[in-house]
Amino acid sequence: MSRTAVLVSCAELPTGDGDDDAVVPALTSLGFSVEWAPWDSSFDFSSADAVILRATWDYAARRPEFLAWCESVPSLVNSAAVVRWNTDKSYLVELLDAGLAVVPTSLVAPGSSPSFPSSDFVVKPSVGAGSRGAARFASGADASAHVASLHAEGHTALIQPYQSSVDTDGELALVYLGGVYSHAFTKGAMLGSTLDSSGLYLAEELAPASPPADAVALAEDVLDAASALLGILRAELLYARVDLVRGADGKPLLLELELAEPSLGFRQTDPGAAMRFASAVRQQLA
Ligand SMILES: Nc1ncnc2c1ncn2[C@@H]1O[C@H](COP(=O)(O)OP(=O)(O)O)[C@@H](O)[C@H]1O
Ligand SMILES: [Mg+2]
């Protein structure tokens, strides 16, 4: 029986950025007919068996419209409820409150005034992707103008101490497929690098990695806690990427949990990862 899988992109990058290229033949070999389509196109998403968010890089500026579209698609993975929760970084505060090791995070909603950490710090929009709107400030700097510009665009600002391990070690991204660990890669420091030629995201430097045990342990706790907050099983997450940094004490901290459209680093890992992804899609439909 042939089934259809749609990989969802955006108008500017209709077939993604290349990271998912190996996923297409893997899905095909497991019986899917595969197509790419931008989320805001006239494509008929309602008849597909699996509609997989992969490269919807432009949602941040149009999140209400994007979430309404997600809710209109019956077979969206990850689900619209997961996407709603995960596309606002306020979830970091929920995970902090659940007792997880998360980069200290404070939220400044439009109308309230910020207070800044005494160390170097980062100000970024709570809804954002591809590092857009994120800026680093030196300790003592007045970032009020940046907060005000995020507020003027309707964003809540998110303030975190700058984690300087990003400059030396980068971020460690652990990828889970169907709730099960698949592979990991590192990502270099982003703030200070330049936008990709598409202008949609900062060009990233990725390399394969074998995660140490303390990083895997935190990633597992993050997935359990996120699934509990969402009221779902881990296995219901087709994909999850857990981005970790090391704090000043050397212990891993969660920087971001990506459940909406993360780059999964297929080009940085073993060719089996694309097949594990395709198998996880089959599991979602079973
Ligand atoms: N608290 C922080 N300390 C150090 N670097 C940060 C911090 N927050 C963000 N960054 C840098 O900015 C990039 C983008 O921020 P992130 O929170 O991952 O948002 P997104 O990837 O959704 O744009 C990160 O990959 C990292 O390089
Ligand atoms: Mg990130």
pLDDT at 193 over 60: no
Tens-digit pLDDT profile for residues 209-224 = 999 999 999 999 999 9
Q: Could you tell me the pLDDT band of residue 158, with boundaries at 50, 70 and 90?
A: very high
Terminal alpha carbon distance of the chain: 13
- Asked whether residue 195 carries a pLDDT value surpassing 80, the answer given is no
Name the pTM for this structure.
0.95
Read off the pLDDT band of 21 (50, 70, 90).
very high
Index of the ligand 1 atom closest to the CA of residue 243: 18
Report the run of H or E that residue 198 belongs to, with start and end: none
Cα of 138 from ligand 1 centre, angstroms: 15
- Compute, in angstroms, the gap from residue 2 CA to the centroid of ligand 1: 41
Write out pLDDT tens, residues 90-134.
999 999 999 999 999 999 999 999 999 999 999 999 998 888 899
The answer to whether 91 and 85 are in contact (CB under 8 A) is: yes
Whether the per-residue pLDDT at 3 is higher than 80: the answer is yes
Cα 80 from Cα 75, distance rounded (Å): 9
Ligand 1 pocket test, pick from 132, 159, 166 with the greatest ligand atom count within 8 Å of Cβ, gives 166
133 CA closest ligand 1 atom index: 23
Task: Give, in degrees to the nearest 5, the angle at Cα 128 between 122 and 129.
Answer: 100
- Domains in the chain (CATH in brackets) are 3-78 (3.40.50.880), 91-100+165-267 (3.30.470.20), 106-161 (no CATH)
Mutate to test the pocket of ligand 1, among 86, 131, 158 (most ligand atoms within 8 A of CB): 131
9 lines ligand 1 (CB under 6 A): no
How far does the centroid of ligand 1 lie from the alpha carbon of residue 204, in Å?
Answer: 12
Q: Which residues are within 8 A (CB) of 246 and not within 5 positions of it... i.e. 6 or more apart? A: 163, 165, 169, 252, 253
- The whole-number average pLDDT for the span 158-186 is 96
- Would you say the CB of residue 88 lies under 6 angstroms from ligand 1? no
CB of 58 closer than 6 A to ligand 1? no
Task: Band the pLDDT of 205: cuts 50, 70, 90.
Answer: confident
**Top mutation candidate among 59, 190, 258 for ligand 1, by most atoms within 8 Å of CB:** 190
Nearest ligand by distance to the CA of 119: 1
What integer is the mean pLDDT of 3-30? 97
- Asked if residue 257 has its Cβ within 6 Å of ligand 1, the reply is no
Atom of ligand 1 lying closest to residue 170 CA: 27
Report the separation in Å between the CA atom of 131 and the middle of ligand 1, taken as the mean of its atom positions.
6
In this structure, which residue's CA is closest to atom 1 in ligand 1? 162
CA 213-233-9 angle, 5° bins: 90
Q: Which residues contact 93 (CB under 8 A, 6 or more apart)?
A: 105, 107
